Copies of this chain bind each other. A is one copy, B any other.
Amino acid sequence: MIRFNNDYSCGAHPQILKALEDTNTESYGGYGLDIWCEKAAAEIKKYLDCPQAEVHFLIGGTQANFTVISAALRPYQSVICADSGHIHVHETGAVEHCGHKIQALPNTDGKITAAQIAEEAELYRTSGVKEHITQPKLVYLSFPTEYGTIYSKQELEEIGTVCRNYGLFLFIDGARLGYGLGSVKADVTIADIARISDVFYCGGTKCGALFGEAVVFTNPELCVDFRSYIKQNGAMLAKGWLLGLQFYTLFKDGLYFEITKRADEYAMQIKQAFAEKSIPSYIESFTNQQFVVLENSMLKKLDDKYVYEYEQKIDETHSCVRFCTSWSTKEEEVQELIRDIRQL
């Protein structure tokens, strides 16, 4: 079977495994206080224009999301996000478990707008009963979104402006950051992401690492004693250098950007193949996740050879499914899929 079902079903990029082997008998300080974490942070910061940035390495996305939010908010403050946001729909209420309300706004293709955020913030600002409602204090975006779509530079700038105007923190979930930045449609760099947001993370789990998310704080106010939050939330890996080592490997020569960009290119080829057969996209994505609407009879033909993710029934004869490329996808797998699409 050839797998296009998700971007976290294989181990790690060979260079990462090799780095693990090379250092396996070495001894390092525990809990993220080691030379590899230091070096990894330095490599990541080379891509930013933000000398004061502080980098912390956590293990997974859900963990990174609620740990950052727990550190950023006071008990009566809430999070604004899209109603399709990962923290709202796929994290078992982890943010609420930390005590915070999520104010979910209707998404358009997985995104929310500066205007929507401003409206929500203005509602609070002008409320006569502030103490009866939660105070929106942090905006959570994903880049790319759950649907593979990305914010344009202008959209992000506008959101950043609204956040500054209303005193909101901007937190960008970059679980798939590489795939977002590598998109042909992307007009932002990681330095833009860093400049516009207060905190964001570079996902490792889905972008070549065994696991790990590099959380980058550009707003120093947000990361006071952040290591205490990491520990309290069970997100401090005893052998923290395993995280540093992986991110060092991914960032030192731009491997992170290279392997995700290639996955995006494969996805574009698949997208085009579907388009040529007039098979419609469910959502127009220019990153590694492609949501398409196929006849069920077509799916049957693909079932023998390919694994994809079933999303939802569209009607009696059509379904929406996701084909997802990743850093581990091989060119021949893509070519084979394209051939088979052409023969549908």
Contacts and interface: CB of A to CB of B under 8 A. Distances in A.
Interface string A127-157: 0011111110000000000000000000000
Chain A, interface size category, equals 35 or more
A257 interface: no
B233 A234 contact: yes
A231 interface: yes
- Counted per complex, copies of this chain come to 4
Contact of A211 (B94, B129, B232, B238): B238
A234 B12 CA distance: 21
A235 B67 CA distance: 12
Contacts of A220: none
Interface stretch (A21-29, A260-268, A336-344): A21-29
A30 interface: yes
A10 interface: yes
A115 B233 CA distance: 32
Given A66-B234, A211-B239, A211-B242, A30 B17 contact: no
A100 interface: yes
Of the listed residues A8, A20, A210, A234, the one surrounded by the most CB atoms of chain B closer than 10 A to its CB is A234
A233 B94 contact: yes
A121 to B, nearest CB: 15
A107 interface: no
Contacts of A28: 9
Given A9-B29, A60-B236, A205-B239, A90 B132 contact: yes
Given A9-B30, A76-B92, A76-B232, 12 more contacts: A8-B239, A9-B27, A11-B242, A12-B24, A27-B307, A71-B75, A90-B129, A93-B100, A93-B134, A99-B99, A211-B238, A211-B242
16 contacts: A8-B238, A8-B239, A9-B29, A9-B239, A17-B20, A20-B210, A59-B59, A60-B236, A61-B238, A76-B97, A76-B225, A76-B232, A91-B232, A92-B133, A131-B227, A206-B238
Closest 4 CB pairs of A and B: A63-B234, A11-B24, A93-B101, A131-B227
